[in-house]
Each structure stands twice: as C-alpha cells, then as structure tokens.
Amino acid sequence: DVTGELLAVRRLEAWYGESHVLHGVDLDIRPGEVVTLLGRNGAGKTTTLRAVMGLVGRRAGSIRYAGRELIGVRPDVIARAGIGYCPEERGIFASLDVTENLMLPPVVRPGGLSIAEIHDLFPNLKERAGSQGTKLSGGEQQMLAIARILRTGAKLLLLDEPSEGLAPVIVQQIGRMIREIKARGFTVLLVEQNFRFAQTVADRHYVMEHGRIVDMVANAELASSLDRLHQYLGV
Ligand code: ATP
C-alpha cells in the first residue's frame, strides 16, 4: 500500500438489521503493530472487529487490507486474504483435544505455523497436547484459540478481550504470548477493557465511544494521558 498501512479503515459504518452501530470508524494499523481498541461496554469495539471480518449485516465506508478493499467481500475471502478473528467466547471444541482443535481449521493461505512451530512458541500447549478442550483452563483455552489462528496463515489477528475472565498471572502469560507473536512479525488488533494489560502489549491505543473512534494515544503517552482517557472509559 502506498500509505504503508496494513489495515486502513475509513468512515466505517455497520448495522445489525435496523440497528446502526458504527457511525464512521477511522483507524490505521501498520505492519507489525499491536493496537488496542479501548472503550466502555457497548461502544462498538466487538462490532468493529466483526465488521473488518465481514460478520455484520451491512457495512459502508472503506476497509483496505494490504491495499485491497474488503467492503463487499465475503468473510471466507477476507480470511483467505490473511485476517484471523478470535471471538470473546474463544470457540474451543470441548470434545476435541488440543492437537485436534489446532488441526480443525483449514490452512487458508501459505505461511501458517506447523504444530511443531506452535509447540515451540507455546510450550504450554505442547504439554497439554492430548488434553480435551473441557479440561483446559481459561488461559489455556485463550492460548489455544490464538494458536489456532496462527495455524491458518493469518497475518493480522483480531482478538476480542483475550484477558477476559483470567487470573492476573495468566493474563501475564497471554501478554507474553502476544509480544512473542509481535516479535514474529504478526500484526494484532485487540479489544480490551483491561488498561494495565493493554499497556503491556500495545504500541498504540484507540478509544471508542458511541460507534466512533474519539481518541488515539501512543503507548508511551498512555500514563500521562490517563486523566483524559478515564473520562471516556469511566474508570
Ligand atoms: P462489549 O464489551 O459490551 O462487547 P463493545 O464495545 O464490544 O462492548 P459491541 O458489542 O460492539 O460493543 O456493541 C455495540 C452496540 O451494538 C451495542 O449497543 C450492542 O447492544 C449492539 N449489538 C451488538 N451485537 C448486536 C446484535 N447481534 N444485534 C443487534 N445489536 C447488537
């Protein structure tokens, strides 16, 4: 892309049926960045991820990924273009073990990590290879959900609240995992409510309110911007 962005979202609007949820979202992500979407419940963060993936009723505006327009493109084609989505509920198959869960999604493009590479990156999953989905902790399920996306060959990962419901020590593990993914050259857009966690993984943060981006702050400026951000986030 001439502008150097991996993802460029402009004036994005989205609807669920008659319900108009996104009202002109603008955001950019450069290759290799980790960027968060912060905001209160109902601000439209999840809907933004779903809209990028093509999983809302109707979209308008522009979403360019690696220079290619995604408005009007089906979710499966968007996945094959290199975008992977991990929903908040993670979607681990309870009756399958860790390896089976990893094998289940198709590799949609070249460059997907092999099982050996996944074990190398995330030793926890190697240890738990034969464990059934139901036996995994919340943190292990979250790791597995992210690893599964890496199998598909996705280069941009959309993660919805990976820290949600996890104990602090496990949240730290997920943080290490995301930094490891970044070090490997992947790009991440993640929804977060946990400010402290966001600070440990991200390069930049966007703040959403009422279906729009209302602020953006570099991670280095997060600490000095807390007063301003707290007004949006109500914490
Ligand atoms: P949360 O952390 O609560 O998920 P969010 O910022 O991710 O918050 P969204 O889930 O994107 O917010 O929701 C934005 C708005 O869209 C809310 O008003 C919500 O009620 C509405 N909404 C979400 N999903 C649907 C749906 N499937 N049908 C209709 N409206 C929806």
What pLDDT score does 37 carry? Answer: 97
What spacing in Å lies between the alpha carbon of 214 and ligand 1's midpoint? 17
Q: Rounded CA gap, 101 and 23, in Å?
A: 36
pLDDT reading at 2 higher than 60: no
Is the ipTM reported for this complex over the cut 0.90? yes
Continuous segment of H or E residues that includes residue 100:
helix 98-103
pLDDT reading at 211 higher than 90: yes
Banded pLDDT at 38 (limits 50, 70, 90): very high
Banded pLDDT at 198 (limits 50, 70, 90): very high
Tokens, residue 109: 């493009």
| pLDDT tens-digit series, residues 145-167 | 999 999 999 999 999 999 999 99
Q: Note the pTM of the prediction, 2 decimals.
A: 0.94
Probe target for ligand 1 pocket from 16, 18, 21, 88, with the most ligand atoms within 8 Å of CB: 21
Query: What DSSP character marks residue 136?
Result: S
* Residue type present at position 215: D
- Mean pLDDT, range 28-55, rounded to an integer: 97
CA atoms within a 13 Å half-sphere pointing along the CA-CB vector of 141: 22
